[in-house]
Structure 1
Amino acid sequence: MPPAGTTGAILTIVTMVHTLGQGMWLALNAVYVTQIIGLNAVQFGLGVSTAAAVTLALSAPMGHLADRLGPRKVQVVSFLMLGPAMLLLLVVSDVYSYIAVMAYYALAYSASRSARKAMIAGALPAETRVAGRAYLRAASNVSVAVGAAFAGIVLAINDTAVFRVAIVLIAASFLATALVSLRLPLVPGQAKKPGASIAVLRDGRYLAFSILDGLLTSHAMLLEIAIPLWIVAHTDAPAWMITVVLLVNTAIVVCFQVRASRGIDGPRSAAKADRQGGLLVAAACLVLAITAGTSGAITLVILIAGALVHAMGELRQAVGSWGVSFDLAPPEQAGQYLGTHAMGADIAKMIAPAVIAWAVLDHGAVGWLWLAVFYALCAVAIPFVVGHQPVGGSENHNAQA
């Protein structure tokens, strides 16, 4: 079920409109930059790296800004900035202007992400946040898939004018998100308090959890990088199995993400779910390693089995991650805390692709075993970092806030 009430409905619309454009851009990004703008792969990588670095640096400060000004205001302004950021790509002609536009895009994206997280924390009751976030994730998977399908049509036509129309439509989706966001409730900003402006930097437990959980969320790179490369280079499975694996994952997330959120009622239960998800991801690595020595239909069956185990791990890890990150964040500082939590995943995204590709491509089944051990260690460590004592004297302290 979607988050209850008008606020839940508006949050759902905001999520789906935004991710529709995002899904189109994810599918078109590399091709547009290299074929339409005319940059080479290295220059494209520089732009992506610049955006990642800016996003990483600004996540906590933008979250603090959302706390001070109120998340709705920051969310609206950030999406009003994202629309022009996309339109600027229509006039980019060299690597320098491309990097500048990507830095501006990352600034707006970082603000929007922190504000959206703070809005969920401020607008939904504490006891429904994890379930609500699960529903929003399922909804976003549907709209990302629709956006990617539209992008597929653009790629099939392969015409410069059509690409440019697609960029305009993506920009329009971001501007529409800003307009819909105006209907969200006004979560008040917080007055400045004595002490450090970004207090989360002094919260060792939250920082440690953010880093560990960020490393654990790098399992998404298995789906995007490791499994496709593995299928092509180390198995006799046809290339179309990559699409099958992606469809299996999308279907599982859409159908079962909300159900996977059941039983999460505080940081301890969320930490256990995070651990369960990480251990399932580790198990998926072990299953996929088996295909190094199989052939024919057996390989296909094992690949699907590995994809199913990975998807189940993703479901539990995601809800555990949300539960801990929400419940350990003081309500008046939700933006900066949740923005900092997102930094853990940003760091992992910068490191994981090269490490995962190196492990799987260069070391085969042994590389999968290394990844399994890594994810298992991260998963087991999380409950110890979160701790066994309830925060603020209650298993769900935010429910009393």
Structure 2
Amino acid sequence: MTVPIGRFADRYGPRNVLLANCLRPAAGYLADLGVHGFTLFVVVASLLFVMDRAGQPLNQTLVGRLIVGAERNRTMGFIHALRNVGFTVGFSLAGIALATGSVTAFRWLFIGNALSFVLTFGLRCLLPSVRLSVTVAAEGGAPAPPVVAPMRNRPFVLVTAANGVLFLHDVILIMVLPLWVANHTSAPI
């Protein structure tokens, strides 16, 4: 999914595509409130997962266009740390809701998550719009080297495959854990 989203970012700018990507999860988490049954859960959770995966490269692209030098690494580190804090707070609140067994508490978790994406949308509106140039010149004004097709670049394919294995923790947190909670606990569904 990141390749088509990347093409949109090349054409319309990473900030603009990120803005759209903030509103889709907000709608998705509100849609979760109406999910009843395994099939619909898998569909909605899969769409939310795809939206989340698409946003991370867009963040990197936008930071890369707005910030230069060592500050770029520091900014990306801060973004990742803040994301981890958000996950920690979110999973803590989910644990509290699970412990109370309240359907209302679970519903407010989804509403709160949707509102967090609306807030993120508002904050990202403050960022300047940047466009990407697909043919960027190399340093010193020399022509850019030719782009190698990704599937012909063996090191890229190997790193991508390894990255896919390493990202299985996301699937466990986003898909497997909620299914386990629904099937093996007395949590309200």
TM-score, normalising length from structure 1? 0.36
- 2: distance between equivalents of 1:208 and 1:107? 20
User: Of the candidates 145, 151, 159, which is equivalent to residue 210 of structure 1?
Assistant: 159
Contact 1:201 1:207 in 2 (8 A): yes
1:67 and 1:163 map into 2 onto residues whose CA distance is 38
Q: Indicate yes or no: 2:79 matched with 1:130.
A: no
* Residues 43-69 of structure 1: CA deviation (Å, up to 9, x unaligned): xxxxxxxxxxxxxxx122222322221
Decide which of 68, 74, 82 is 2:11's aligned counterpart.
68
**Corresponding position of 2:53:** 110
CA deviations 1:18-48 (Å, max 9, x no partner) are: xxxxxxxxxxxxxxxxxxxxxxxxxxxxxxx
- Tell me, yes or no, if the aligned pair for 1:67 and 1:118 is still in contact at 8 Å: no
Residue 145 of structure 1, CA deviation: 2.3
Native 8 Å contact 2:60 2:76 kept in 1: no
Contact 1:62 1:114 (C-alpha < 8 Å) held by counterparts = no
User: Post-superposition shift, 1:90?
Assistant: 0.9
Aligned equivalents of 1:86 and 1:139: distance in 2?
20
* Partner Cα distance (2:85, 2:60) in 1: 20
1:71-128 CA-to-partner distances (Å, cap 9, x unmatched) read 1011110110000111111111122322322233234223322211211111111332
Return the TM-score normalized by structure 2. 0.71
Per residue, is there more helix in 1 or in 2? 1
Residues 70 and 190 in structure 1, CA contact (< 8 A), matched pair in contact too: no
User: Comparing both chains, which one has the higher relative contact order based on Cα–Cα distances under 8 Å and sequence gaps of 6 or more?
Assistant: 2
1:332-382 Cα distance to aligned partner (Å, 9 max, x none): xxxxxxxxxxxxx2344359x9xxxxxxxxxxxxxxxxxxxxxxxxxxxxx
The verdict on how the C-alpha distance between 1:95 and 1:151 changes in structure 2, with shifts beyond 3 A counting, is closer
* 105 and 164 in structure 1: CA distance in 2 versus 1, 3 angstrom threshold: same
Question: Following the alignment from structure 2 to structure 1, what is the Cα–Cα distance between the partners of residues 68 and 49?
Answer: 30
Residue of 78, 82, 91 corresponding to 1:148: 91
Structure 1 unaligned runs (5+)?
Answer: 1-57, 216-344, 354-401
Superposition map of 1:114-263 within 5 A = 114-190=57-133, 201=150, 204=153, 207-208=156-157, 210-211=159-160, 215=162
Question: Of 159, 167, 187, which residue of structure 2 is paired with 1:349?
Answer: 167
Unmatched 5+ residue regions in structure 2? 137-146, 172-189
Q: Once the 2 structures are TM-superposed, how far is the Cα of residue 209 of structure 1 from its aligned partner?
A: 6.4
* Residue of structure 2 equivalent to 1:12: none
Task: Flag the 1:347–1:142 CA change in 2: closer, same or farther, 3 A.
Answer: closer
Query: What residue in structure 2 maps to residue 81 of structure 1?
Result: 24
Report the Cα distance in structure 1 between the residues aligned to 2:101 and 2:148, rounded to whole angstroms. Answer: 49
Count of aligned pairs: 161
- Counterpart of 2:184 in structure 1 is none
| Counterpart-to-counterpart distance in 1, 2:52 and 2:17 | 11
Identity %: 22
Aligned counterparts, 1:280-299, within 5 A: none
Instruction: Report the RMSD for the aligned CA atoms in angstroms.
Output: 3.0
The one-letter code matched in structure 2 to 1:64 is: R
Cα deviation 1:205-255 (Å, max 9, x = unaligned): 6615633xx63xxxxxxxxxxxxxxxxxxxxxxxxxxxxxxxxxxxxxxxx
Q: How far, CA to CA, are the matches of 1:206 and 1:122 in structure 2? A: 25
Is the counterpart of residue 97 in structure 1 residue 40 in structure 2?
Answer: yes
Give the drift of 1:191: 5.8
